[in-house]
């Protein structure tokens, strides 16, 4: 396919999705399902109009998926409707850390005992497939900054955190592939990859989000007539936080998600909000303790930067899902791959959610829906490409590519076709 056809194709897809055609609503077709259908049709599975080789283009695909996940995590964090309170966040925190660990363990057990993979490879595969996805799960994400729906909040906040909490298991799997297990290796892993990298990411995200909110507030007080570039401020925060986390060997995905929440909540506190969904005059004036008027600004960075970033997120989703179709072959559909996918959806996800939320007081109906909507997607692609670039042996790389692609495609189809009917039933 030449460049002209690609422009026409992508433009047509954007117009079709932008028009929100009734046929898509009637058959409960999400945009991701449409992109996937086009990618599979044009890829080597059907017409063979294009083929994308993930082994040869692993670094490019890693960066593309990395950017998509960062944008999605930042957007998700900006929309979080509640502050950091244990009562509000206990369910997603338990899902992101306890359920994540159980999911990795169960998937690794399947890989070790059923697929006959080495222990390190089985743990790595579990870590690749365990995190739920903030990019492809837009239908069950928090819709706007005041959306307090418990299902969407739980799924969005879980996806925002478990893209970081999966990283220690990726590193453990890679380490065990090349080095025998030992107390020394496990000790270093716990101290460095679990404790240090997680805590450092949390601190960097919390501090930098709050600092940016303070700087923006001071700038607007000093020069309230000059508009700020909210998109650049948001993108800049992503870059600074992610770069600092990489330098400190902390989990950047977790840091960016926390930074977005910290920025949003700091702006809300500055604006004197009582509820995140409230609206107020962005230039209202309140007196300070000395009696001098001070401009009290609404959370414009977190709200003003969402529109542009959501468009970038949708474009990255389109590109990555089309490439997904271009990577998929008919022989990717092995019994090993399909069997693992079904085990992941029907056993691992429900069991890990139930065990992770045991005793939390979360309603059973909510647990059941959360246990079903464990969408896999771009995060798994990133971790797979990271492992390949890191030096995963070629034979394991090829098998993991086939397995991961099948899991993601089945997740897009199964979850994509059921999301709207089940969400409507949840609301009823």
| Residues contacting residue 294 through CB under 8 Å, at least 6 positions apart | 221, 285, 286, 287, 288
Where the chain has pLDDT below 50, the residues are 274-297
Give the span between the Cα atoms of 380 and 128, in whole angstroms: 5
pLDDT value of position 317: 86
Is 153 within 8 Å of 366 (Cβ atoms)?
A: no
Beta bridge partners of 57: none
Question: What does pTM read for this prediction?
Answer: 0.87
* Residue (of 161, 127, 175) closest to 391 by Cα position: 175
Give the span between the Cα atoms of 214 and 266, in whole angstroms: 8
pLDDT digits (tens, 9 = 90+) for 225-273: 666 777 788 889 999 999 999 999 999 999 999 999 998 888 888 777 5
Q: Is 286 helix (H, G, I), strand (E, B) or coil?
A: strand
> In the chain, what's the furthest Cα-to-Cα distance?
74
Residue 33 token pair? 């399902």
Cα dihedral 325, 326, 332, 337 sign? negative
Give the span between the Cα atoms of 31 and 37, in whole angstroms: 10
Beta bridge partners of 293: 287
pLDDT digits (tens, 9 = 90+) for 179-230: 888 999 999 999 999 999 999 999 999 999 999 988 888 887 776 666 677 7
Rg (CA), the chain: 22
Give the span between the Cα atoms of 213 and 221, in whole angstroms: 12
Tell me phi and psi for residue 286, to 5 degrees: -130, 150
pLDDT value of position 143: 58
Is 422 within 8 Å of 369 (Cβ atoms)?
A: yes
pLDDT value of position 126: 97
* Residue (of 120, 163, 137) closest to 255 by Cα position: 163
Give the span between the Cα atoms of 15 and 221, in whole angstroms: 42
Give the span between the Cα atoms of 49 and 230, in whole angstroms: 40
Within 10 angstroms of residue 407's Cβ, the number of other Cβ atoms is 24
Give the span between the Cα atoms of 186 and 188, in whole angstroms: 5
Within 10 angstroms of residue 231's Cβ, the number of other Cβ atoms is 16
Is 151 within 8 Å of 140 (Cβ atoms)?
A: yes
CA angle at 194 for the pair 189 and 200, rounded to the nearest 5°: 125
């Amino acid at each position: 396919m030449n460049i002209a056809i690609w422009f026409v194709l992508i433009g047509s897809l954007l117009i079709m999705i932008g028009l929100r055609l009734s046929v898509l609503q009637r058959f409960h077709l999400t945009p991701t399902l449409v992109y996937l259908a086009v990618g599979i049709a044009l890829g080597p599975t059907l017409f063979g109009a294009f083929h994308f080789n993930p082994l040869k283009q692993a670094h490019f695909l890693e960066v593309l998926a990395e950017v998509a996940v960062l944008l999605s995590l930042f957007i998700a964090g900006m929309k979080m409707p509640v502050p950091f309170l244990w009562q509000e966040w206990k369910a997603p925190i338990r899902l992101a850390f306890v359920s994540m660990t159980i999911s990795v363990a169960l998937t690794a057990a399947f890989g070790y005992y059923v697929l006959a993979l080495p222990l390190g490879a089985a743990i790595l595969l579990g870590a690749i497939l365990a995190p739920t996805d903030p990019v492809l799960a837009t239908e069950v994400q928090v819709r706007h900054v005041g959306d307090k729906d418990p299902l969407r909040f739980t799924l969005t906040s879980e996806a925002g955190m478990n893209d970081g909490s999966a990283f220690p298991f990726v590193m453990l799997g890679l380490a065990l592939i090349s080095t025998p297990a030992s107390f020394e290796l496990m000790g270093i892993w716990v101290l460095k990859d679990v404790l240090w990298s997680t805590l450092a990411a949390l601190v960097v995200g919390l501090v930098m989000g709050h600092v940016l909110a303070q700087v923006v507030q001071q700038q607007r007080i000093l020069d309230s007539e000059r508009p700020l570039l909210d998109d650049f401020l948001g993108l800049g925060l992503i870059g600074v936080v992610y770069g600092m986390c990489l330098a400190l060997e902390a989990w950047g995905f977790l840091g960016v998600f926390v930074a977005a929440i910290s920025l949003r909540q700091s702006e809300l506190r500055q604006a004197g909000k009582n509820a995140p969904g409230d609206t107020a005059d962005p230039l209202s004036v309140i007196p300070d303790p000395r009696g001098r008027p001070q401009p009290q600004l609404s959370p414009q960075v977190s709200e003003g930067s969402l529109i542009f970033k959501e468009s970038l997120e949708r474009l990255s989703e389109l590109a990555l899902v089309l490439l997904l179709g271009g990577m998929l072959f008919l022989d990717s559909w092995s019994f090993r791959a399909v069997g693992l996918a079904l085990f992941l959806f029907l056993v691992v996800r429900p069991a890990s959610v139930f065990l992770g939320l045991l005793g939390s007081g979360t309603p059973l109906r909510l647990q059941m829906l959360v246990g079903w909507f464990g969408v896999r997607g771009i995060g798994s692609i990133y971790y797979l490409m990271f492992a390949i670039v890191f030096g995963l042996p070629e034979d394991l790389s090829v098998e993991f590519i086939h397995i991961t692609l099948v899991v993601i495609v089945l997740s897009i189809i199964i979850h994509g076709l059921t999301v709207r009917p089940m969400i409507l039933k949840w609301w009823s």
